[in-house]
Amino acid sequence: MEISVQGRPSIQAARQDFPILDQEIGGHPVTFLDSASSAQKPRQVMQAVRSFEETSYANIHRGLYWLSEEATRLYEEARETVAGFLGVEDVPTLLFTRGTTESLNLLAYTWGERNLGEGDEIALPVMEHHSNLVPWQQLAFRKGARLRWIEINPDGTLDQDSLAAALDRRPKLFTFTWVSNVFGTINPVRELADRAHAAGATVILDGAQGVPHLPTRVEDLGVDFLAFSGHKMLAPTGIGVLWGRRELLETMPPFHYGGSMISTVRRDRSSWDVLPNRFEAGTPNISGAIGLAAACRYLDALGMEAVRDHDQDLLAYAFEQLASLEGLEVFGPEDLAGRSCVVSFRFRNIHPHDLATLLAREGVCVRAGHHCCQPLMREIGMMGTTRASFYVYNNREDVDRLVQALDKAGRLFSGVKCKP
């Protein structure tokens, strides 16, 4: 089964692969600027899933008939494709999960339960998404461990003094996001990983916003574990990845128990299968894995360097255009080379939910709220922000439509008098 990418698709032509963007909603073209939440899917990904479900679907790893053997082959081939996309050579160290949240919970309940104890420290930046915060907070409660927060500068970069102080305390774990889903800050992964290792920590990277946008070679990142979600990189929901170093994965107990992850089961004891099966209990999301592999092939065909260049071009254009709006303040680093294309902003005193609702009336889909980063919102003194995020199918016209819709909303609100 092949996806039908004919020739090498270019970013400029990519938009035509996304049928959802062809339609009008409420008389407006769809201006989709919420990819940091979940990205749209190209035809090639949908076709790969449909073709699998129409011609080769069956459960995997157990049937002795052709359909099951074919489904198993495609599922394991999907693992190889995703591993290839990340430069992972030891393919069984790439585990399929439901997404970043499940990958991080898996780590907290397996690596964390086994390796953290009373008084141990977990260092993490205050910019973390709840997915890379709550599992560690709860683990710390269970084990008597402590969270050591790394503060941020007003521009959304890590505070170096706070980072140095956290590492000086020799934390057992340093877990952080590659890209902030609020500020767009790109954290310097290799440098942070090397420093954390020198301080004796195990290093986990939340790649939910990084892997979809930045060329990824796992060995170059220098981390011990990498978690990400398929649905933020053109794949279906319900599929994601946890990659880990073999020597660590092999010491970890299973996360879920049940079918497909055992070696033998007796009435009074069981033993576990080898990687990756010991961490993939039950029937996995077979179609999702095939969709994720198709998304990786699609992104590979575009070229991740080209994806990054496209992001940078749109980001620069968005910054230029947004600057024309009086009273609009963008959060995050000013140096565009240090950010990915997530643009969170405040516009005058308009509540983010009101603003997002008005933008939606113009067909502009953005996110508003705390973006699952409540501690960070408290830090910047906001209840929430409005966030536009771009991906391969966006173009400068989308930015223009965002700016026009903001301008309209601003004019509407300039006539609104608040009660004294």
Ligand X SMILES: Cc1ncc(COP(=O)(O)O)c(C=O)c1O
Taking CA atoms, 187 is separated from 104, 210, 246, in Å, by 18, 9, 25
Q: Least distance from C-beta 376 to ligand X, angstroms? A: 11
Q: Of these, 44, 81, 131, 394, which contacts ligand X (CB under 6 A)? A: 131
The answer to whether 88 and 110 have CB atoms below 8 angstroms apart is no
As a whole number of angstroms, the distance between CA 388 and CA 35 comes to 8
If one asks whether residue 209 binds ligand X (CB under 6 A), the answer comes out as yes
The answer to whether 194 and 167 have CB atoms below 8 angstroms apart is no
The mark string for 160-179 relative to ligand X (x by CB under 6 A, - otherwise) is: -----------------x--
Which of these ranges, 129-137, 149-157, 158-166, 382-390, lies near ligand X under the rule CB under 6 A? 129-137
If one asks whether residue 206 binds ligand X (CB under 6 A), the answer comes out as yes
As a whole number of angstroms, the distance between CA 16 and CA 18 comes to 5
Q: Least distance from C-beta 385 to ligand X, angstroms? A: 14
Q: Least distance from C-beta 210 to ligand X, angstroms? A: 8
If one asks whether residue 238 binds ligand X (CB under 6 A), the answer comes out as no
Q: Least distance from C-beta 75 to ligand X, angstroms? A: 20
- Spatial CA neighbour of 155 closest among 377, 332, 339, 336: 332
As a whole number of angstroms, the distance between CA 104 and CA 292 comes to 19
Count the neighbouring beta carbons within 10 Å of the beta carbon of residue 90: 14
**Which of positions 364-393 make contact with ligand X (CB under 6 A)?**
none
Q: Least distance from C-beta 235 to ligand X, angstroms? A: 11
As a whole number of angstroms, the distance between CA 261 and CA 203 comes to 26
Q: Of these, 82, 123, 145, 208, which contacts ligand X (CB under 6 A)? A: 208
**Would you say 99 or 284 has its CB closer to ligand X?**
99
**Would you say 215 or 369 has its CB closer to ligand X?**
369
> Which long-range contacts does 217-221 make (Cβ < 8 Å, 24+ apart)?
217/86, 217/87, 218/86, 218/87, 218/88, 218/243, 219/87, 220/87, 220/190, 221/189, 221/190, 221/193
If one asks whether residue 101 binds ligand X (CB under 6 A), the answer comes out as yes
Which positions touch ligand X (CB under 6 A)? 37, 99-101, 129, 131-132, 177, 181, 206, 208-209, 229
